[in-house]
Structure 1
Amino acid sequence: MEQQDRYIRFDWAVKRLLRQKANFDVLEGFLTVLLGEEVKIIELLESESNQQSVDDKFNRVDIKAKNSKGEIIIVEIQNTRELYYLERILYGVAKAITEHISLGERYYEVKKIYSISILYFDIGKGNDYLYHGQNSFTGVHTGDRLEVTTKEKDALVHKLPAEIFPEYFLIRVNEFNKVAVTPLEEWIEYLKTGCIRSDTQAPGLAEARKKLIYYNMSPAERHAYDEHLSAIMIQNDVLDGAKLEGRMEGRLEGRMEGKMEGCIEIARNLKSMGLDTETIQKATGLLPEEIQKL
């Protein structure tokens, strides 16, 4: 029986394989689909978070690249929850701007930055799997967009702040539950499931089918990769257990402080109104058996 292809998770590929120039086309394809324009990577830039140590297993993986326009693109993958994630990506963008402008250079040398976060945790409320944000300046009374005057090549030109200020993309991988139709959806499906359809035409995924095959790795690389997956599963189990313990502790504290009595009274009233157990549970947080005893 023919062995079915198994593809490497994108976070591992970014950490190990996509740093090789011969594999830039995979990352270029992903960025092209996401940004809506062709992206060519000229070089990878050094970043202090490009760690491959054991301590980095559960944390972020990022890659910093310069495209053919001289713009900087940060691709960051986060496997576990981080409470101050937005503050951190803001810091990361600010650091990238200052890292890549030499002392004494003029401000117009500052390059635009794209910050792309691939998130495998619930960052908050929202129904979409892809969010895009940027600084823009709109007239409070007129609604027009501000244009600023700048000097380029001894000529005065008008620019929108959007041409200078960073852009942020947040990809909430776990929220994707669609049938992949567009190239972007095919990419998100791969990020979530590790599956690539055999007839894909999405830029970068056809290349990924050739270069990111699990069985093409050496035995040592496969072992390290399997350990990586195992570590992520263990970490997620630990976090889930902590959440469960927190909820249980919260219920106990609630009983001690009298909060439970309030929930019980509300549940009793809802039950007398004929509402079903599931609805009452959502409204009060009580367990089904607690509701049934009322």
Structure 2
Amino acid sequence: MTVALLPPKMDFVFKRIFGNEDHPNILISFLNAVLNPVDPIKSVKLKDTTIEKSHLEDKYSRLDIKAKTNNGEHINIEIQLKDEKNMIKRSLYYWSKLYESQLESSEKYQKLSRTICINLLDFNLFKHDRFHSVYRLKDCETHEELTDVMELHFIELRKMKDIQHIEEIKSKLEAWLYFINHPESELIEELEKFEVEIKEAKAELIRLSGNKKERERYEKRRESLFNKLSALDSAREEGIEQGIEQGIEQGAKKEKIEIAKNAIKNGFDNETIIKLTGLSFEEVENLREK
């Protein structure tokens, strides 16, 4: 019986494939596809490759990939399934942490290396149609680049166009994103014939999917992320309901104040106005003073 493949979009699965020390060529190929460097990356050194039980069960833990390239670049890759309305600030924060962590106390700033954050998003973040956006520090008027030491990538997976034939894939990055979106498609089987690293990634995905222990770990992670998303949705719905209630209350209060103002103009006494509006004596007196 054929086992259904685990989704590469899930951070646990993504890290097990792209952050695998036994298969560094997968990550090297992916990074070269994303960054398109003049001097291609030849090797990577991975950090934090272990995935502890606590990481799987903690709904707020991050299963990102940290690596250093042979060019000295520090790279962080994160995949996000749902828009939590904080992606840009979140990415800047983690970029700053990665940049700052390069220096020990008393070391010189010259030691700081180019630092890159790559965010794969299973939701639309920007209004434009491009699936890959790159940001650096530039002058607002002349667009002159200050430095390339800071670079943020946002890859919006849902903006990848539907591809029917292999000839429609125009870049290695498109091939990788199609694998992440549709690992079981016939098109991926075609790509495997001449894209060695994608074939290697597919083989690792098949191995993971057929391993009972790995599937159990995946299910734990999926459950923790589901609980997180449910908690966020509940909090958001509660916030909306509270906002509606507050709006109604504020509107009713405003209406009472207007009635009281008109009553004051027409010579009504405080006791009558209080009975009409439900406002307090102090509130009515304050309106008389204005």
What is the deviation of 1:207?
1.4
Give ranges in structure 1 of 5+ residues lacking alignment: 146-159, 260-294
Q: 1:77 to 1:199 in 2, by over 3 A?
A: same
Query: Which is helix-richer, 1 or 2?
Result: 2
Q: 1:103 to 1:227 in 2, by over 3 A?
A: closer
Alignment of 1:33-44 (within 5 A): 33-37=33-37, 38-44=40-46
Contact kept in structure 2, 1:29 and 1:203, CA below 8 Å: no
Q: Hey, what does 2:94 align to over in structure 1? A: 92
2:169 maps to 1:181: yes
Amino acid at match of 1:223: E
Q: Within 2, Cα distance between the matches of 1:230 and 1:193?
A: 22
Alignment of 1:1-294 (within 5 A): 3=2, 6-10=5-9, 11-37=11-37, 38-46=40-48, 52-57=54-59, 59-123=61-125, 125-137=127-139, 140=141, 143=142, 145=144, 161-163=146-148, 165-179=149-163, 181-182=169-170, 183-195=172-184, 197-200=188-191, 201-202=194-195, 204-213=197-206, 217-240=210-233, 243=236
> Number of matched residues?
240
TM-score (norm 2): 0.66
What is the deviation of 1:48?
12
Q: Within 2, Cα distance between the matches of 1:212 and 1:31?
A: 19
Segment of structure 1 superposing worse, 48-57 or 224-233? 48-57
The SS at the match of 2:189 is: coil
Q: Within 1, Cα distance between the matches of 2:223 and 2:2?
A: 23
Query: Please, what is the CA RMSD of the aligned residues?
Result: 3.6
Give ranges in structure 2 of 5+ residues lacking alignment: 253-290
Segment of structure 1 superposing worse, 44-53 or 124-133? 44-53
Q: Deviations over 1:193-231 (max 9, x none)?
A: 444610114563221011121556531221121332344
Q: Within 2, Cα distance between the matches of 1:130 and 1:66?
A: 22
Contact kept in structure 2, 1:73 and 1:116, CA below 8 Å: yes
Q: 1:144 to 1:238 in 2, by over 3 A?
A: closer
Q: Within 2, Cα distance between the matches of 1:110 and 1:50?
A: 30
Q: Within 2, Cα distance between the matches of 1:198 and 1:103?
A: 51
Q: Within 2, Cα distance between the matches of 1:50 and 1:94?
A: 25
Identity %: 22
Q: Hey, what does 1:286 align to over in structure 2? A: none
